[in-house]
Structure 1
Amino acid sequence: MPLNDDPDDALNETLTHTPYDGSSQPFTIGLKPLDPHEWIEIDGDLENYLAEKDRLYGALLEKVFVAEADTGEAQREILDALVAYLPERFPETYRRIGDAIEIPALGRRIALNAAETPPLRTASLLVPEDLILMRKGDNGWRLAAGSLCFPSSWSLTEKFGKPLHDIHEPVPGFGPGTRPAELIERMFDRLQGQAVERFNWSLQAGDALYHPISQRQRIDRATMQPSKFSEDEIAAQAFIRVERQTLRKLPKSQDILFTIRIYLNPLSMLGKHPERATLAASFAGQLAGLDQAQLDYKGLSADRDRLVAVLSQMAGAS
């Protein structure tokens, strides 16, 4: 569901993160240490995210929330961590009142001990991030629970219960048996007190936060290579979708919490940025450097050349 009809009325009014500037490279692991103080990012768009989560929980609960039966304690550990962190880090936004967290500016009160609501779902209604619980088993780390309201072209129900190497199978260069797959598994094993973060970018038509795609749809898209955009001006239709991902080990359960924050901005906003020449040139270079498998994965095979041309024009504008 698009959140705005006007592309200039962006969900995120600034380019908070620009991983296409060369600070991150597509299809690399790219993990960097994260200051625990900066674990969650809260801004003026919080209500937009929470309202969309409310809508999706009401309409598509089975598609956006999953949990193995024995993950309740780990879910509670996540909720407790957020309840401890948020009022201290963002006292102007969050307030702990008894068995609830209040967000006064939004008129929201989130009960922390509602028996009918899984703790992870409660936790998800505190923050704009999606929350994924990874658990170690005989076949490696698997997706054991998750609130995923804002998927970037994947399906929570398809990935539920699967180990990392199967989750990443569609990603070029990251499938089972590849060196990146082995490195990710090893990194999960070694993750202790240090939180880490990484970034991804993609391009989509429109500003829908809920952007799922099944594996069957991905295969069909790679085969047919349809355009995401009409013949009209592509810069007016394209949105930059940036994922900020964090990983941290939960000290009690020893599970890993994977958070995903989505930022959406019209591509046209890049043309108004004071560093548009540098950013657009770098973005064009990353797009131009994608191979066919990577283009198919991102769904950009039909549109890459048009997008590179638009970005190159932005880079050359005075």
Structure 2
Amino acid sequence: MSLSNEINNKFWLDPPWGDGHKKYRLGLAPIDKEDWFESDISSELKEHKRRLLETRYEDVVATTDDSVEAQNILSEKISTSENEFPDEIANISLSVPDDLCVIESNGDQRLIAASVCSPSYWDLTKKIGKSLRHIHKPVKTLNKKIGSPIEKFINNAPLDKPFKRENWFIHGNDKRFYLEPEGRPKEPIEQWYVRSERETICKYNDAYSLFAINVRFQPLSAIKGYDEARIGLIKSLEGFDSKEIDYFGGVDKYDVLLKYLHSL
């Protein structure tokens, strides 16, 4: 059995949507520095990253010309023995399970360096060098719900103090690599997966912050054994506006999912 198919009781008792949280919200809570990264990187995940770094480097790593200092400072915060790739952010990413995005803490808060090997509806080549406000444009209501609050948060965040939030998606399988949004998955809904993302942000220098994303999967069908999680997911979905439904995968996917959840 793959790790993606192992039912995690802890996840379902405390799912990322809680008792029906709005999906697009800031939701950041402070954590201890030693909990910045949840675990060591597994051999399976490290191989996934290395394979993409070796075969699709320009799709998964991007940097701006002025990001060298930010990457070097980060390498002092996160030690790595890797040095085979030209960008330090790529080498650092092989030491932790998370994808890594370096953001300016001030000014336009541009994304200036990133290694993203498990994207969900996210094409790094179209985001690098852009401000957070520009990055949030695909969901027109997102800047109001998250964009402005996260800008203020990064400006005022304490130094070297990580904060955590949980995000989630629904996919037709447990593949990690989705550059573009998908519509309704072709797989039967009984085979769909919840993709959860443990997201942290830490201002590791007055000028730079690190946004890190650790992706995990759970089979959606497991929700039938956790009624509170099922009810919470229905409530969260029913709180979507039309733009959020479009970004989520469209009305067809949204309606099929709600119908399935109500049927359990």
Instruction: State how far apart, in whole Å, the 1-side matches of 2:121 and 2:65 are.
Output: 26
- TM-score by structure 1 length? 0.74
| 1:74 partner SS | helix
| 2:110 partner SS | strand
Give the counterpart letter for 1:195 in structure 2.
P
- Alpha-carbon deviation of 1:147? 0.3
How many residue pairs were aligned? 259
| 2:126 partner SS | helix
- Superposed, 1:85-234 pairs within 5 Å as 110-111=81-82, 114=83, 117-136=86-105, 138=107, 140-175=108-143, 178=144, 180-193=146-159, 194-213=161-180, 218=181, 226-230=183-187, 232=188, 234=189
1:59 is aligned to: 55
Instruction: State how far apart, in whole Å, the 2-side matches of 1:153 and 1:228 are.
Output: 14
- Alpha-carbon deviation of 1:300? 4.1
Give the counterpart letter for 2:123 in structure 1.
S
- Residues 162 and 150 of structure 1, relative CA distance in 2, 3 Å threshold: same
- Alpha-carbon deviation of 1:311? 2.2
- Alpha-carbon deviation of 1:269? 2.7
- Superposed, 1:247-262 pairs within 5 Å as 247-251=201-205, 254-262=207-215
Select 1:263's aligned residue among 216, 220, 225.
Answer: 216
Give the counterpart letter for 1:192 in structure 2.
P
Q: Structure with the greater relative contact order (CA < 8 A, sep ≥ 6): 1 or 2?
A: 2
Q: Deviations over 1:278-312 (max 9, x none)?
A: 11111122123322211101114212222223223
- Alpha-carbon deviation of 1:31? 1.5
- Among all aligned residue pairs of Structure 1 and Structure 2, give the percentage whose two residues are the same amino acid: 27
- Residues 141 and 244 of structure 1, relative CA distance in 2, 3 Å threshold: same
Select 1:239's aligned residue among 193, 196, 213.
Answer: 193
- Alpha-carbon deviation of 1:53? 0.4
Give the counterpart letter for 1:200 in structure 2.
N
1:307 is aligned to: 257
Q: Deviations over 1:151-204 (max 9, x none)?
A: 1111101000001110111124224xx474332211111112332111211101
| 1:268 partner SS | helix
Instruction: State how far apart, in whole Å, the 2-side matches of 1:246 and 1:66 are.
Output: 20
Whether the 8 Å CA contact 2:22–2:239 is kept in 1: the answer is no
- Alpha-carbon deviation of 1:227? 2.2
1:34 is aligned to: 31
1:18 equivalent in alignment to 2:18: no
Whether the 8 Å CA contact 2:105–2:154 is kept in 1: the answer is no
Instruction: State how far apart, in whole Å, the 2-side matches of 1:132 and 1:26 are.
Output: 21
1:286 is aligned to: 236
| 2:24 partner SS | coil
Instruction: State how far apart, in whole Å, the 2-side matches of 1:179 and 1:311 are.
Output: 26
Instruction: State how far apart, in whole Å, the 2-side matches of 1:116 and 1:63 are.
Output: 14
Instruction: State how far apart, in whole Å, the 2-side matches of 1:131 and 1:257 are.
Output: 7
Instruction: State how far apart, in whole Å, the 1-side matches of 2:85 and 2:246 are.
Output: 42
Q: Deviations over 1:99-147 (max 9, x none)?
A: xx6xxxxxxxx43xx3753221111001110000001565x10000000
Whether the 8 Å CA contact 1:27–1:172 is kept in 2: the answer is no
Instruction: State how far apart, in whole Å, the 1-side matches of 2:115 and 2:220 are.
Output: 28
- Residues 179 and 266 of structure 1, relative CA distance in 2, 3 Å threshold: closer
Instruction: State how far apart, in whole Å, the 2-side matches of 1:185 and 1:116 are.
Output: 31
1:74 is aligned to: 70
Moved more, 182-191 or 240-249: 182-191
Instruction: State how far apart, in whole Å, the 1-side matches of 2:70 and 2:198 are.
Output: 22
Bigger Rg, structure 1 or 2: 1
Please, what is the CA RMSD of the aligned residues? 2.3
Give the counterpart letter for 2:104 in structure 1.
R
Give the counterpart letter for 1:171 in structure 2.
V
| 1:210 partner SS | coil
Instruction: State how far apart, in whole Å, the 2-side matches of 1:116 and 1:26 are.
Output: 36
Gaps of 5+ in 2: none
Gaps of 5+ in 1: 1-7, 84-100, 102-109
1:9 is aligned to: 2
Instruction: State how far apart, in whole Å, the 2-side matches of 1:12 and 1:262 are.
Output: 14
